[in-house]
């Protein structure tokens, strides 16, 4: 996949997800086959106001390339300034504009998928961001539209392509749908046929087979995996095999999965305080145990983790008392 001047060896992309795709989790996913990773979404206004909590979100791991940063905002002037800051601080290869986040506090403010209600503003935002990106490729992640009565993705995509946007990721749901129902891949296929720039497919990819299926069905250049990666960064290995028509590897043994989880949390503690890393580890570790029989006690213990010592204690107990789940994911 070629996005502007950036070549990406794999069609497998880790979606930017707030509170999930921090530097530690991105590192794990890259090791397991993600070809392109993107930071958590960062507020353009926060960067313009020099918010110290936002700058660390832009940090990339040494050697984390190709990689992108994602910004959200609806003020063109602020987006241009934020793009300059983001690219300077991160050294990222690509800048992605969030036009898809459906969370009310974002969308109802006119940011994220809120831009799908004002295509002219969306285009002004894209133009300004391209100026601020300093020649680096700018991409857009969007949804179908605000609701099923206002499907605007194809119209907007053509406008963005004409402005110089280098690639578009389309999630096959509207803003109103949030994450309910089924993603409509037909619009992704239509967009791929309508544009000359790369199109990345997103929505309802929960297995390696799903990744192969969405690529074949839509003809998209890449597949962006979001919720399907929760507790299963091995989905990238499984997707690579499925796309190649090879046998899909099962998940590693539970003990090995726990070791990867601990590695992630230790890495997070290096970049954040141990306390913050462990608080965030609570949801990640619960995801790693998804589908494991009789894990409720340990999930309860996980919900009280505050130190790495807690992580080690819980991990020892899980390895001692729990067996592998009896189905592949």
**Tens digit of pLDDT for each residue in 221-270?**
999 999 999 999 999 999 999 999 999 999 999 999 999 999 999 999 99
Instruction: Pull the structure tokens for residue 276.
Output: 């913050």
Which residues lie closer than 8 Å to 119 by C-beta, 6 or more apart? 152, 155, 156, 159
C-alpha dist (Å) from residue 296 to 133, 185, 258, 315: 47, 36, 16, 14
Quick one: pLDDT at residue 69?
98
C-alpha dist (Å) from residue 67 to 60, 94, 143: 8, 6, 22
Q: 97: part of which helix (H) or strand (E)?
A: strand 94-99
Residues 76 and 160 in one domain: yes
Residues 211 and 80 in one domain: yes
Residues 8 and 123 in one domain: yes
Quick one: pLDDT at residue 326?
45
Domain interval for residue 271: 254-321
Report the distance separating Cα 30 and Cα 273, nearest Å.
23
pTM over 0.85, yes/no: yes
The reply to whether 118 falls in a domain is yes
Which residues lie closer than 8 Å to 211 by C-beta, 6 or more apart? 12, 205, 223, 225, 235, 238, 239, 242, 243
Residues 33 and 99 in one domain: yes
Residue 101 binned pLDDT confidence (cut-offs 50, 70, 90): very high
Q: Within 10 A of 283 (CB to CB), how many other CB atoms are there?
A: 15
Domains held by the chain: number? 2
The reply to whether 328 falls in a domain is no
The reply to whether 329 falls in a domain is no
Quick one: pLDDT at residue 166?
98
Span 54-77, average pLDDT: 95
**Do 260 and 51 touch, CB atoms closer than 8 A?**
no
pLDDT above 90 for 199: yes
The reply to whether 249 falls in a domain is no
C-alpha dist (Å) from residue 80 to 63, 113, 114, 118, 128: 26, 19, 18, 18, 5
Residues 166 and 213 in one domain: yes
The SS3 of residue 225 is: strand
pLDDT tens digits for 262-309?
Answer: 999 999 999 999 999 999 999 999 999 999 999 999 999 999 999 999
> 194, 209, 244: which is the final residue of a domain?
244
> 213, 244, 275: which is the final residue of a domain?
244
pLDDT above 90 for 323: no
Residues 135 and 259 in one domain: no
> 179, 212, 244: which is the final residue of a domain?
244
CB burial of 208-236 (b: ≥16 within 10 Å; e: otherwise) equals bebbbbbbeebebbbbbbbebbbbbbbbb
Cα three-residue angle 34-198-60, rounded to 5 degrees: 40
Which residues lie closer than 8 Å to 172 by C-beta, 6 or more apart? 144, 183, 184, 185, 186, 187, 188, 201, 202, 203, 204
Residues 174 and 268 in one domain: no
Q: Assign residue 56 the CATH number of its domain.
A: 3.20.20.70
- Mean pLDDT, the chain, rounded, equals 95
DSSP 15-59: PP-TTT--HHHHHHHHHTT-SEEEEEEEEHHHHHTT-TTTGGGG-
Active site residues: 101
Quick one: pLDDT at residue 325?
58
Q: Assign residue 304 the CATH number of its domain.
A: 1.10.1200
Span 116-140, average pLDDT: 97
The reply to whether 127 falls in a domain is yes
Instruction: Pull the structure tokens for residue 65.
Output: 């390339």
48-52, 205-209, 233-237, 242-246: range with lowest mean pLDDT: 48-52
């Amino acid at each position: 996949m070629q996005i502007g001047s950036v070549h990406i060896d794999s069609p497998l992309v880790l979606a930017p997800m707030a509170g999930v795709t921090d530097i530690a989790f991105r590192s794990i996913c890259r090791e397991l086959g993600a070809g392109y990773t993107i930071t958590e979404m960062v507020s353009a206004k926060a960067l313009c106001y020099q918010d110290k909590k936002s700058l660390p979100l832009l940090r990339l791991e040494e050697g984390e390339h190709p990689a992108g940063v994602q910004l959200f905002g609806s003020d063109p002037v602020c987006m241009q300034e934020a793009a300059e800051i983001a690219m300077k601080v991160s050294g990222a290869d690509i800048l992605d504009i969030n036009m898809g986040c459906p969370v009310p506090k974002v969308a109802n403010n006119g940011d994220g998928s809120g831009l799908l209600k004002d295509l002219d503003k969306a285009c002004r935002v894209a133009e300004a961001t391209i100026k601020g990106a300093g020649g680096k490729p700018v991409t857009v992640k969007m949804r179908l539209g605000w609701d099923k009565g206002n499907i605007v993705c194809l119209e907007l995509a053509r406008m963005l392509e004409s402005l110089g946007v280098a690639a578009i990721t389309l999630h096959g749901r509207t803003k109103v749908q949030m994450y309910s129902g089924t993603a409509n891949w037909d619009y992704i296929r239509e967009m791929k046929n309508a544009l000359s720039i790369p199109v990345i497919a997103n929505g309802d990819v929960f297995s390696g087979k799903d990744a192969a299926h969405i690529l074949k069905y839509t003809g998209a250049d890449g597949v962006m995996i979001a919720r399907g990666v929760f507790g299963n960064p091995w989905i990238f290995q499984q997707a690579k095999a499925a796309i190649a028509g090879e046998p899909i590897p099962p998940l590693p043994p539970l003990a090995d999965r726990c070791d990867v989880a601990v590695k992630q949390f230790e890495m997070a503690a290096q970049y954040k305080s141990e306390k913050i890393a462990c608080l965030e580890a609570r949801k990640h570790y619960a995801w790693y145990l998804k589908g494991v029989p009789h894990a409720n006690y340990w999930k309860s213990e996980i919900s009280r983790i505050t130190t790495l010592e807690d992580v080690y204690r819980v991990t020892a107990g899980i390895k001692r008392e729990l067996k592998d789940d009896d189905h592949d994911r």
